[in-house]
């Protein structure tokens, strides 16, 4: 239920923004909730008889700004206009994913207690701030020391590391059923953990 609300509200907010309309009112169930949130749009690319998803854009924050309903709308709207040449037609052919972020806490980089597929990393390195979501960790196979090397390459040595927990909701097909992704069950992670 929560996932369906989040994804449909994000999608509707993008449609409103692309049409030049005011953002829609958030569903009441989202108004009292405080989470960091990321919205991602993935286009469906067909090639050589295969179908794959390709990230068109992703935007979000690890810190709640207002409440979940308003934050999702604002982030989704900004994302829709930040993707080059993105139209309502493109949106109808794309899947929308919403990642909730909670439990942000300072992290010493100890990989033995890192929950692969559930946790992400937030880095503050001088003026630079960036996030590595669990989806990125899996897609780029940033397991073990590779994650720490990646973080250092992005922000330089000496940054402050934080980790956070996520819940990820996405559409199975464009405008289709919404499910919660269980990345920790991925065979890629299982191969790494062995």
Domains of the chain with CATH codes: 1-192 (3.30.700.20)
Residue 137: the pLDDT is 92
Integer CA distances (angstroms), 101 to 38, 41, 60, 162, 164, in order: 8, 17, 10, 12, 6
Helix axes 2-18, 68-82, angle to 10 degrees: 40
Q: Cα–chain-centroid distance for residue 176?
A: 18
Global pTM reads 0.92
List the pLDDT tens digit at each of the 194 positions of the chain: 899 999 999 999 999 999 999 999 999 999 999 999 999 999 988 888 888 889 999 999 999 999 999 999 999 999 999 999 999 999 999 999 999 999 999 999 999 989 999 999 999 988 889 999 999 999 899 999 999 999 888 876 778 999 999 999 999 999 999 999 988 777 777 777 66
Residue 194: the pLDDT is 60
Please state, in angstroms and rounded to a whole number, the distance separating the CA atoms of residues 90 and 92. 5
């Amino acid at each position: 239920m929560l996932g369906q609300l989040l994804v449909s509200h994000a999608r509707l907010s993008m449609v409103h923004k692309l049409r030049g309309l005011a953002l829609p009112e958030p569903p009441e169930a989202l108004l009292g909730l405080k989470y960091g949130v990321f919205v991602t749009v993935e286009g469906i690319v067909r090639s050589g008889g295969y179908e794959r998803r390709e990230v068109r854009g992703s935007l979000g924050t690890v810190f709640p700004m207002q409440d979940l309903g308003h934050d999702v709308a604002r982030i989704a709207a900004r994302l829709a206009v930040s993707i080059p040449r993105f139209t309502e037609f493109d949106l109808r052919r794309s899947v929308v994913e919403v990642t909730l972020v909670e439990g942000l806490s300072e992290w010493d980089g100890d990989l033995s207690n890192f929950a692969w597929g559930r946790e992400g990393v937030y880095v503050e390195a001088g003026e630079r701030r960036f996030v590595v979501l669990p989806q990125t960790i899996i897609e780029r196979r940033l397991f073990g020391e590779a994650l720490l090397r990646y973080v250092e390459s992005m922000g330089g040595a000496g940054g402050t590391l934080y980790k956070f927990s996520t819940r990820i909701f996405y559409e199975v097909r464009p405008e289709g059923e919404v499910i919660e992704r269980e990345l920790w069950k991925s065979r890629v992670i299982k191969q790494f953990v062995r």
